[in-house]
């Protein structure tokens, strides 16, 4: 097994995977975002678009999750994430991450 600590795209920008694992031939990726304006949520929005862009590379069953310290997620952002098959966990859900993941990864 090869473990990557980070990778770069064509422009040379560094990218990294916070948490990535396989279960039953399905790739799972969890990104952790802890900062940013609660009201604007631009960091989370940008991450949703990034995950949406790479989701075809994850395979048909690939799943992406975003963990955030925000207490509430905008409905428009949650809907966009759902369109990309991405789950956003708010602060309360992150505090119970084991339970949240076990409900979604079976």
CATH number, residue 58: 3.40.1350.10
Residue 41: domain span: 7-104
37: pLDDT confidence band, cut at 50, 70 and 90? low
Has residue 1 been placed in a domain?
no
10: pLDDT confidence band, cut at 50, 70 and 90? low
Has residue 66 been placed in a domain?
yes
pLDDT for the residue 78: 92
pLDDT for the residue 4: 46
The rounded mean pLDDT for the chain is 81
Has residue 35 been placed in a domain?
yes
Has residue 92 been placed in a domain?
yes
Has residue 2 been placed in a domain?
no
pLDDT for the residue 5: 47
The overall pTM is greater than 0.85: no
Q: Say if CB 58 and CB 20 are below 8 A apart.
A: no
Domain count, the chain: 1
38: pLDDT confidence band, cut at 50, 70 and 90? low
Of 40, 82, 90, the closest CA to residue 64 belongs to: 82
């Amino acid at each position: 097994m090869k473990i990557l600590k980070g990778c770069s795209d064509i422009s040379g920008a560094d990218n990294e995977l916070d948490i990535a694992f396989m279960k039953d031939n399905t790739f799972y990726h969890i990104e952790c975002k802890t900062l940013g304006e609660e009201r604007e949520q631009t960091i989370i929005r940008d991450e949703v678009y990034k995950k949406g862009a790479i989701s075809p590379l994850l395979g048909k069953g690939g799943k992406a999750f975003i963990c955030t310290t925000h207490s509430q997620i905008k409905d428009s952002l949650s809907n966009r994430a759902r369109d990309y098959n991405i789950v956003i966990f708010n602060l309360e859900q992150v505090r119970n991450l084991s339970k949240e993941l076990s409900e979604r990864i079976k």
